[in-house]
Amino acid sequence: MQYVELSVPAAPTYLSLIRLSVGSVATRLDATLDELEDLQLAVDELCLLLLSSSTSEEGRLQVHIEWEGDLVEVRCGLPGAVRSLANGQSASGLGPEALSRQILDALVDEHGADVVDGVLTAWLKKRRVPAITGP
| Packed helices 33-52 and 15-28: angle between N→C axes, nearest 10 degrees | 150
State the minimum distance, in angstroms, from the CB of residue 81 to another protein: 17
Nearer to another protein, 19 or 126 (CB): 19
Q: Judging by DSSP bridges, how do beta strands 2-9 and 60-68 pair with one another?
A: antiparallel
Cβ(106)–Cβ(115) below 8 Å: no
> Could you say whether residue 99 binds another protein (CB under 8 A)?
yes
Q: Which of 55, 117, 118, 135 binds another protein (CB under 8 A)?
A: 135
Q: What angle in degrees, to the nearest 10, is found between the helix axes of 95-107 and 33-52?
A: 160
Cα 24 off chain centre by: 15
Does 27 sit near another protein (CB under 8 A)?
Answer: yes
Q: Which of 6, 8, 38, 79 binds another protein (CB under 8 A)?
A: 38
Where do contacts with another protein occur on this chain (CB under 8 A)? 16, 19-20, 23-24, 26-27, 30-34, 36-38, 41, 44-45, 48, 88, 91-96, 98-99, 102-103, 105-106, 132-133, 135
